[in-house]
Structure 1
């Protein structure tokens, strides 16, 4: 099952295909939103959309591949499952190399699509959790004073307290106090944890 905030966005110019996918997916308990063109989806798109995109490769005006490129440029992280005809497989493989999540060839079995959707939603949930974690780390770093940040950068770089004291022209006791506050504000107990969280956000 999807998380409560996740929606499956179906973008396909074929009304019968949209209807059958809606019937299938809603029958499995998923939230579904359908669009008859890439332009219609782009118009409705927001940065905070959660879920995944089931996208037809061949559509008039703007193809699924062109929509993928536009979403990529917008920084979208929604996993994309391309729906392809037999002749579109090489294009779909190229899309995978450019970051698409999966593709499925028409005609397909319902269960094959559901397996791919479950996988895409799990991936999106992991990405969302990682973003929340990174945002929390950035927020904690924002709570540090300028001096605490300087001490943290030197600690993470592997400097000893004495080296930090010399470099910043402060006493060892002051370094120790700053270091303790850094660990507390960052919510970590060990140097290894501090290195790990700071590396996570670069």
Structure 2
């Protein structure tokens, strides 16, 4: 989902149309406050990939202030931000990129180049979301399950794992089933692929 935050209605409409021409879902917000309200209500946000097109100069809350708010919440790693401005300069672009922005475009921009970067940002967001989910699942494993997991990933059979850990083969089988369930996989190969 592409989130467009710009105080100019014509820009919001144009960017929404551009996104839809690439089959990208888009929601537009007229201010940083409207975007934060939607974020706080979790309306329209999911783990399938997010990107924000953010105008730098807006009344009430600038794009930079909104970006800093998102960064303070730890969201800019999962939701890439592409800044848009009609008043950009090189130092501003360098500063936003150093602070973690995905990219910076000056208006008027090349529509295709902008949408190409949006697609790249959405792909990066999906990958970051998937990685975060894997880490969340790993955090649910007990210490013993982590030990069994490491040995499974090393390609060891249940009997060898049982011998190495000094537990019964049945206990290894139970741990293995719990690991597969918690990691949402069905085989050791799938488990290795998820954790690569």
How does the TM-score come out when normalised to structure 2?
0.71
Residue in structure 2 matched with residue 117 of structure 1 by the alignment: 118
87-96 vs 31-40, greater mean Cα deviation: 87-96
Instruction: Give the whole-Å Cα distance in 2 for the aligned partners of 1:95 and 1:11.
Output: 16
The change in CA–CA distance for 1:189 and 1:15 in structure 2 (over 3 A counts) is: closer
Write the distance in 1 (CA, Å) between the matches of 2:148 and 2:138: 18
Tell me whether 1:49 sits opposite 2:45 in the alignment. yes
Structure 1 vs Structure 2 CA RMSD: 3.2
Quick one: structure 1 residues 81 and 184, their matched pair in 2 at CA, closer, same or farther if it must change by over 3 Å? same
Residue equivalent to 2:27: 33
Partner of 1:11: 5
Deviation at 1:61, TM superposition (A): 1.6
* Number of equivalent positions: 173
> Which structure 2 segments of 5+ residues have no match?
151-160, 181-186
Deviations 1:26-66 (A, max 9, x none): 23222211111111111111457242100011112211111
1:185 positional shift? 2.8
Aligned to 1:169: none
1:58 lines up with 2:57 in the alignment: yes
Q: How does 1:7-156 map to 2 (within 5 A)?
A: 7-46=1-40, 49-50=45-46, 51-76=50-75, 77-85=78-86, 87-139=88-140, 141=141, 144=142, 149-150=143-144, 152=146
SS of the aligned residue for 2:7 comes to: coil
8 Å contact from structure 2 (residues 51, 122) kept in 1: yes
By how many angstroms is 1:138 displaced?
3.1
Structure 1, 45-54 or 8-17: larger mean CA deviation: 45-54
Give the direction of change, closer, same or farther, for the CA distance of 1:179–1:82 in structure 2 (3 Å limit): same
TM-score (norm 1): 0.69
In our comparison, the structure showing a higher alpha carbon Rg is 1
Q: Structure 2: how far apart are the matches of 1:41 and 1:70?
A: 11
Aligned-partner Cα distance in 2 for 1:45–1:73:
14
Cα deviation for residue 155 of structure 1 reads 9.0
The answer for the alignment partner of 1:182 in structure 2 is: 175
After superposition, the Cα gap between the structure-2 partners of 1:62 and 1:134, relative to the gap in structure 1 and judged at 3 Å, is same
* In 2: Cα distance, 1:17 partner to 1:179 partner: 59
**Alpha-carbon distance, 1:152 to partner:** 4.3
